[in-house]
Amino acid sequence: MELLLVLAVDGYCSGVVLAVGPRSSRRLFALPRRLEGVGCPPNRDVLALGPNGEVGVLRTPSGEEPASAKDPALLLLPGQPMRPLAPWDTLQSADTPACQQDPSGFRAILMTRGPWVSVTDSGAPLVGTAGSMILVRWSPERVCVEALETDAGTWTTDQGVMNTSVVA
């Protein structure tokens, strides 16, 4: 049976993961309720799929700054404690030998509010201030990037100033 996975989050940042089919839906698990007075994280929680089809949620409480050892990304799995994931500075392309030999990561599409990725053109940084959309495979050891779209600032042409993005 074909299922659609849905992460539903309310205004208090409480959430539930649902499996929705053609004739029914079922609750897979609920996200832990946040402490009162603690706001929603700037980056949305996102669904994550494990190497064996496990369903989890990836949370990046670090906000506009990339996840670090002190403020790590977290993997939430049903019935298990939150797992800290590798710091963002372990980032590498998914085609590196280390990433190709590590099938343990959870795949997710991150939507960051801040620029977690910087791009250079002929050695000069393309500075953007908006966030990115990044397809990752994230494990406790490393972050492997499979694809991304990120803000690359503006570019002035004879037509005027244009916002630019880099897709890779």
Question: Please, what's the b/e burial string for 76-98 (b: 16 or more CB within 10 A of its CB; e: otherwise)?
Answer: bbeeeeeeebbbbebbeebeeee
Q: What is the pLDDT of residue 161?
A: 86
- Look at residue 112 and give its three-state secondary structure: strand
Domain spans of the chain, in order of start: 1-36, 41-167
Give the chain's residues under pLDDT 70: 1, 33-39, 119-129, 165
- Look at residue 140 and give its three-state secondary structure: coil
Task: Please give the Cα distance from 141 to 73 (Å, whole number).
Answer: 12
Q: What is the pLDDT of residue 121?
A: 66
Q: How many CB atoms lie within 10 A of CB 107?
A: 17
Give all strands (DSSP E) within the chain, no chain letters: 4-9, 15-20, 25-30, 46-49, 55-59, 74-76, 83-84, 92-93, 106-112, 119-121, 124-126, 132-138, 143-157, 160-167
The two structure tokens encoding residue 168: 């890779």
Q: What is the pLDDT of residue 61?
A: 85
Q: Which residues are registered as beta bridge partners of 4?
A: 20
Rounded to two decimals, the pTM is 0.84
